[in-house]
Structure 1
């Protein structure tokens, strides 16, 4: 079949115009839902840095998406927003997908932000000057970002290893930023589970003693007996089935962010995140970033053993989980992250 010179030039012009736009934007018309609400518990945390980078560098817009990020005090609150229908997707801890199955609500993680929890169990040097071991925390006040959040799950797990039941301590929700710092300095809590930059800030002033540090992947894997993955994006199964192209676009943006973070200079990260994230100390934020980067995902893929590790960890503090019939294979899918990795290498 032959074509005229004019037809050939027209086709070349159209192809050139198409290539001038990001791949995702060109296919934006196929998105089932262009405006998406993502709930997150503590957006300023390095734990959720890929989400902030994807938004800050315009990766969501490149995919044709209009993303609204709704910030809550902790992971349990952001999960409630998705369950209640005020948000479409949750940027939260992976283990929530396991817990929700026991409640008859199937959630599925589709792209990873954190390879390890990045949570730190720290002792308050103001109130626990003679601390020797985790056993000393019996009867004490333990701070968590929010009741029921992943920080409390880690606290329970660490206390369990010391022979302490959750009922033998008092848990107090203290948030994730200035409120957490105030709780330590005022003596409101004797220990807490927190993330950076709060941990690095208090360490710099020697106000806390680190007891368990899952910013280190090897420490996390040893503590939990396998890959205890952390921040991810998950949504109700029904939402994913109804909006696969939209979910793919979101996964594309997060995988791009994961890859960018893996290679970025700390100074470049500072340019992307809002100044408020730095808590008034740019140098300290850089230290926090470098301490946590090894625990952030480089490709958005969830290890196959992650669901079993999460269930095992949860079972130590929740007997109902141990005996529950859970389809662990349904708690995550890598098909979106795998496709994103083929597009963005």
Structure 2
């Protein structure tokens, strides 16, 4: 544990260790784990609620928030042993499952039900956005093979567009530079997560037009993953982690936007309470948060359908549910 934490602290300059939020009272016997999230976003609000409301503390678990800036980087940190538990796209488990690494990773809990990114453009939003109007336009996307890249392509295809011919998707801009690149005019449209969406709208020239996930449908988008060996060696930690997330999902399901904003404020110091409340309403309207940590076989099948359709997974390499997900913790502990 100490070795993993030291590696995480050393990685702070590379990944960006986030400002520490006020910590809730800790349980007497607390285990500190090494944790990494793919990016720091309001899209992952249930995670921050679980920390701020003390649900992890109740389970005797503590950790720092460290953003890896991409599922590929998170997966590398997880496989190297410098991270114990990570929040990343579910496609990572399938890529690793089909790769050469002797160590495999499993999903043990889900956080988000579909893509939480929003298409941002320069026109004033209307009542309903027509994705077909993007034909011939440049779109600032994400790294090829990543969850946001896959979901964007599916949204375009559902609108009758060929992502390779009808639009120009820019995929080589680093995550920290995306906002600045978009404001400088690198593309006509871009997909962004909160709080970046709110910050872009503050310019008065950029507007959130629609949610990508709504155009694609319900497919688990962000999940908690760990090495098979870590899950086998520390089932009590994985179980407690899952319970904490389940409590947060249930709380956020019924909390008012103002209550949610108060809980989230310490983790987003540059965002006003009004902006936080608005973001909560935006995410709820899009239906992007899961109400429980369960990940279904159907969701994994649909995900692999997407990967195959995008040429990222040969049909012969489709993995069974048991090779991707360990349902032990969200089926046993959530009863």
Aligned residues: 296
- 2:117 — aligned with what? 119
Cα deviation for residue 296 of structure 1 reads 0.7
- State the distance in 2 between where 1:141 and 1:295 align: 22
Residue 78 of structure 1 is aligned with which of 46, 57, 74?
Answer: 74
CA distance in 1, matches of 2:271, 2:313: 43
Alpha-carbon contact 2:151-2:216 (below 8 Å) kept:
no
Whether contact under 8 Å (1:114, 1:230) holds in the other structure is yes
Aligned partners of 1:197 and 1:99: how far apart in 2? 29
Paired residues of 1:124 and 1:184 also in contact (CA < 8 A): no
Equivalent residues of 1:160, 1:316 under 8 A apart: no
Distance in 2 of aligned mates of 1:319 and 1:63: 38
Q: What per-residue deviation string (whole Å, max 9, x for no partner) do you get for residues 248-283 of structure 1?
A: 011111111111111112222222224562644432
Look up the SS of the partner of 2:171 in the other structure.
strand
Q: Is the 8 A contact 1:121 1:194 kept in 2?
A: yes
How does the TM-score come out when normalised to structure 2? 0.77
Aligned to 1:315: 308
- Please tell me whether residue 277 in structure 1 is matched to residue 286 in structure 2: no
1:89 pairs with 2:80: no
Matched residue, 1:35:
32
The structure 2 residue matched to 1:264, chosen from 219, 244, 255, is 255
Answer yes or no: is the 8 Å Cα contact 1:99–1:321 preserved in 2. Answer: no
1:68 matched to 2:59? The reply is no
Instruction: Return the offset for 1:82.
Output: 0.9
In the alignment, which of 302, 311, 320 is matched to residue 327 of structure 1? 320
Unaligned runs of 5+ in 2: 1-25, 125-130
Equivalent residue for 2:332? 339
Alpha-carbon distance in structure 1 between the residues aligned to 2:95 and 2:189: 25
Structure 1 residues 285 and 271: alpha-carbon distance in aligned structure 2, compared to 1, 3 A threshold: closer
- Does residue 250 (structure 1) correspond to residue 241 (structure 2)? The answer is yes
Q: In the alignment, which residue of structure 2 is the partner of 1:150? A: 147
Deviations 1:216-274 (A, max 9, x none): 4xx432xxxxx311221111222111211111011111111111111112222222224
Q: 1:4 maps to what in 2?
A: none
Equivalences for residues 1-345 of structure 1 within 5 A? 34-43=31-40, 45-105=41-101, 106-125=104-123, 133-137=133-137, 140=138, 142-144=140-142, 148-159=145-156, 162-165=161-164, 169-175=169-175, 179-203=177-201, 205=204, 207-208=206-207, 210=209, 213-214=212-213, 216=214, 219-221=215-217, 227-275=218-266, 277=268, 279-293=270-284, 294-342=287-335
Q: Work out the CA distance in 2 between the residues paired with 1:168 and 1:180.
A: 16
Offset, 1:321:
3.4
C-alpha distance in 2, partners of 1:258/1:201?
A: 25
